[in-house]
Structure 1
Amino acid sequence: METPLETVALFSLKLAYESADQSPILRDDLVMSDYQRDVFGILVRRGDVEAIQLKVDECLALALDAVGGIEKPLGRELKRLAISFGDAQTMEQLDAPLIAIKKYLKDIL
């Protein structure tokens, strides 16, 4: 689960901070320091659903702002997916919405 979490964070930060005239944001960039696979790995091993949701929510808030907020079609769909992820109460329930968010972010990049 750590890899999809890191990927969602990376895609969100790319939407928020990456521009055409700069080098691309990579997994080892400083902006990713709080969202790397090993950070998520610790939270996954602890089963800390709330901390995982908080970290992902931070990234999704940036992505949501980058796509124009919930007033725009991309933002409405991203918000819907974020709510689904936030409604999960167990580690197992995080999987499906996490994959949906990852796919959606990949599509809009």
Structure 2
Amino acid sequence: MHKNSLQELHLKTAALFSLKLAYETEGQSPILRDDLVMGDYQRDVFELLVRRGDFEGIQVKVRECMGLALETAGSVDKPLGRELGRLVGEFAGIQAMEQLGTPLVALKDYLKDIQ
């Protein structure tokens, strides 16, 4: 898989897991990639940002999702929120597109684990 495609997939997946954490409730249909709540975080949005090399745009989109996830996890005052906050901080500290890999995958994997 092409490096940009992999970044796009990880970005969209991290967004999906954060929005699932924030909005999905037990007993309701699960949030899927094509649901309206995912409108601003669809793969084509991340594809465009990655292709443009719009690092700041990517940071803004991820920050929006992670803010919702952190709020849902009880902020940094709770164990889940502390770890998520640490991972979000690592991601926020990235200075270039080339550095997205490891922090993004860690963030995505953690969000998946706490679903």
Tell me which interval the TM-score lies in, with the shorter structure as reference length: over 0.9
**Which residue of the partner structure matches residue 88 of structure 2?**
82
Q: Please tell me the residue identity of whatever aligns with 1:30.
A: L
Q: Given residue 44 of structure 1, which amino acid in structure 2 is its aligned partner? A: V
Determine if the alignment matches structure 1 residue 52 to structure 2 residue 58.
yes
Moved over 3 A (4+): none
Deviations 1:22-57 (A, max 9, x none): 100000000001001110000000111111011001
Aligned to 1:93: 99
**AA aligned opposite 1:71:** D
Which ranges in structure 2 are unaligned for 5 or more consecutive residues?
A: 1-6
2: CA distance between counterparts of 1:88 and 1:25?
A: 29
Shift of residue 69, structure 1, vs aligned partner: 0.8
TM-score w.r.t. length of structure 2: 0.92
Match of 1:105 among 95, 106, 111: 111
Q: 2:19 aligns with which of 6, 13, 16?
A: 13
The number of residue pairs the alignment matches comes to 109
One-letter identity of the residue aligned with 2:104: L
Unaligned runs of 5+ in 1: none
Q: Provide the rounded CA distance (Å) in 1 between the counterparts of 2:98 and 2:84.
A: 21
Matching residue's letter, 1:20: E
